[in-house]
Every structure is written in structure tokens, then in C-alpha cells.
């Protein structure tokens, strides 16, 4: 691509940051995806953005698909290209968006892994034997109690939680949508125990490291790995606690709208995946318990 083409790409990045105010993480994804596609288009001999055709875009997607890149990733990359070309059209540089005519291959829906109720209890009821483990237990209890995302958990400040009322304000949420969440008694007890030994009065963060700084998402993941290994629990990642919260709540309440609000999902279709998990559980119970669900004996085998 020539200098003008690269300048348009830089202008789009400035637009995302200054006008759309996307997060740093989203901006990195756009930059990485578009620069990867740019390198491919250059290999095909393109020098200007108007030269890009539907055929070339499909060629790129086919190459990535043959490299076993997941359909979800390809959909994200195509979405970035569509957004970029919408920007070019709005700036009157182009009149059409070739990426709008292309569909990325769909990836099969994967049901999230989760803990059953007994596994969750085994994980959370392990004793805390050090100051850091008191903090860790409070984090994991709050994860499961309120169905938080990992980024939401690490951004909680002391002033965001009302232990008397049992309520939590999630300020830093996906899409910038704040929400109030209830906090269960077990989590309140664990958080109180952590606050009693927490020794960083100048830090606003609820969960801090030994240096008094806000915990990173990576640190929480590593601490959960260590907690599971030490206590012989089912290997768990932070989002499994969120999935478990959603599935267990939906199984008990049957109120998908309430679960949607608690999870902070903008679209109820995102929440509906937990209805599939619930159905799988019901189906397994049926297969085990119903007398007419058993497989018939094979006469040839005598079984």
C-alpha cells in the first residue's frame, strides 16, 4: 500500500480513539487485525484501498480458514474491515464497502465449562491460611456471588461496595453500562475478613497486591490456579465462576431476564446459552432416571 493508504488507516485509528472512545484493548485488536489484512492485500499487489474487491477479501478469509483460525476470530477481523470501510465511505473517499458483501465462516457454538454446585462449594470452602489467601477467598466468593467479569472484579473500589446493604456497584463494565448487583452473605463475610487485614489505606482498590497496588487480571488468574492446585480442586479459570453463577441461578429461578440483568448482557441471546446448559443437565437426569429412556438389550450379545 502507498503512503496515502497507510495515512487513511492511521486516521481510522485516531477516529476510534478520539471519537468512538474505544478501549485500549479494542484499539489494539483493530490495529492488529487490519495490519494483518493490509500485509496480505499488499502481497496481492494492491496499493490503494479502492482496489480491494470481494474476491480478495474472500481469498484472505479462505487462507486464514485453512490455517485453522477459528470462525470467531475471522468474524472479528471481517468486522474490523467493515468498520474501516464504513469510515472511508463516510469520509467520501469511497462509495461502496466491499467487506459488507462478505460473510465469515461460522464457528460451532461451544458451551462454556462450569462447576456444579458441589464443585463450587468445594472450591470456596477451602480454608484461607495466609493474608493473601484471605484476599483470594474474598475474590473468589465475590466472583461466584455476583457473576462478575474478571475486568469488573479487579476494578472494584472500596467505595463501590456496601456491605451493610449487600450491594455492589460495577462501574467499569463492558460497554460502559454500570449496574448494581447483590452480594451474598458468604461473600460479605469473606470481604469483611479481607478488609480487616488489608493494609493500604491510600489505595482505592478493594483487591490489592503486597505492594498495595490494584491487582491485575493476570494475577487473579494465577492466584486461582494456585488455589486449585493447593486444595486439589477442579481446575478452574475466573470466567468459569461467572458461568457457574449464571447456570446455577437460572436453574433455580428460571428467570432468564433477571440473569441477563445480573450478568450485564445487552442482548438476551447471549444469556440464552445458559438455557442450553440447563437443558443438558435436565436431559442427563432424564436419561438416568426415566425407565423408558434406558437402552434396550442387544439380543445378539445377551446384554
Tell me the per-residue pLDDT of 201-229, one tens digit each, with 9 for 90 and over.
Answer: 889 999 999 999 999 999 999 999 999 99
pLDDT mean over 235-250:
87
124 and 91 in a common domain = no
220 and 185 in a common domain = yes
Residue 127 in this model has a pLDDT that exceeds 90: yes
Residue 292 in this model has a pLDDT that exceeds 50: no
191 domain-assigned? yes
Residue 303: the pLDDT is 46
239 and 136 in a common domain = yes
The mean predicted confidence, pLDDT, of the chain is 85
145 and 242 in a common domain = yes
Cβ-based burial of 4 (10 A; exposed 0-12, middle 13-18, buried ≥19): exposed
264 and 125 in a common domain = yes
CATH of the domain at 85: 1.10.150.130
pLDDT mean over 264-281:
66
pLDDT mean over 221-243:
90
CA distances from 110 to 135, 182, 302 (A): 32, 29, 38
Place of cell 463450587: 120
Which region holds residue 166: left if phi is over 0, alpha if psi is between -120 and 50, else beta?
left
Q: Give the phi and the psi of residue 193 in degrees, each rounded to 5.
A: -65, -35
CATH of the domain at 185: 1.10.443.10
152 and 66 in a common domain = no
Q: Is the dihedral of CA 52, 93, 14, 6 positive or negative?
A: positive
Task: With CA atoms as reference, report the closest residue to 170 among 154, 184, 191, 193.
Answer: 154
Instruction: Point out the residues that are catalytic.
Output: 149, 174, 239, 242, 265, 274
Residue 297: the pLDDT is 45
Cβ-based burial of 145 (10 A; exposed 0-12, middle 13-18, buried ≥19): buried
CA distances from 48 to 2, 17, 54, 101 (A): 7, 24, 15, 19
| Number of domains, the chain | 2
Which structural domain range is residue 13 located in?
3-101
Tell me the per-residue pLDDT of 57-115, one tens digit each, with 9 for 90 and over.
Answer: 999 999 998 898 888 889 999 999 999 999 999 999 999 999 998 987 776 666 667 88
In angstroms, the CA 72 to CA 266 distance is: 19
Amino acid at each position: 500500500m502507498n503512503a496515502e493508504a497507510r495515512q487513511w488507516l492511521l486516521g481510522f485509528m485516531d477516529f476510534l480513539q478520539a471519537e468512538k472512545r474505544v478501549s485500549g484493548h479494542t484499539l489494539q485488536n483493530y490495529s492488529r487485525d487490519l495490519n494483518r489484512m493490509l500485509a496480505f492485500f499488499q502481497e496481492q499487489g494492491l496499493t490503494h484501498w479502492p482496489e480491494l474487491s470481494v474476491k480478495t477479501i474472500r481469498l484472505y478469509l479462505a487462507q486464514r480458514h485453512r490455517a485453522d483460525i477459528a470462525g470467531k476470530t475471522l468474524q472479528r477481523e471481517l468486522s474490523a474491515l467493515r468498520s474501516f470501510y464504513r469510515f472511508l465511505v463516510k469520509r467520501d473517499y469511497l462509495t461502496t464497502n466491499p467487506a459488507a458483501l462478505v460473510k465469515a465462516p461460522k464457528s460451532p457454538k461451544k458451551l462454556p465449562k462450569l462447576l456444579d454446585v458441589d464443585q463450587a462449594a468445594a472450591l470456596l470452602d477451602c480454608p484461607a491460611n495466609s493474608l493473601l489467601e484471605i484476599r483470594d477467598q474474598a475474590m473468589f466468593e465475590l466472583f461466584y456471588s455476583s457473576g462478575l467479569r474478571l475486568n469488573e472484579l479487579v476494578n472494584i473500589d472500596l467505595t463501590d461496595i456496601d456491605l451493610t446493604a449487600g450491594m455492589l456497584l460495577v462501574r467499569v463494565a463492558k460497554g460502559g453500562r454500570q449496574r448494581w448487583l447483590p452480594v451474598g452473605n458468604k461473600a460479605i463475610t469473606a470481604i469483611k475478613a479481607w478488609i480487616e487485614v488489608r493494609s493500604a489505606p491510600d489505595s482505592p482498590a478493594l483487591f490489592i497486591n503486597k505492594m498495595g497496588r490494584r491487582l491485575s487480571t493476570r494475577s487473579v488468574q494465577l492466584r486461582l490456579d494456585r488455589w486449585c492446585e493447593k486444595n486439589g480442586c477442579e481446575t478452574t479459570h475466573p470466567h468459569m465462576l461467572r458461568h457457574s453463577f449464571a447456570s446455577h441461578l437460572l436453574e433455580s429461578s428460571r428467570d432468564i431476564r433477571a440473569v441477563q440483568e445480573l450478568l450485564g448482557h445487552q442482548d438476551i441471546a447471549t444469556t440464552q446459552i445458559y438455557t442450553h446448559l440447563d437443558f443438558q443437565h435436565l436431559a442427563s437426569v432424564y436419561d438416568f432416571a426415566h425407565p423408558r429412556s434406558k437402552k434396550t438389550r442387544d439380543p445378539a450379545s445377551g446384554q
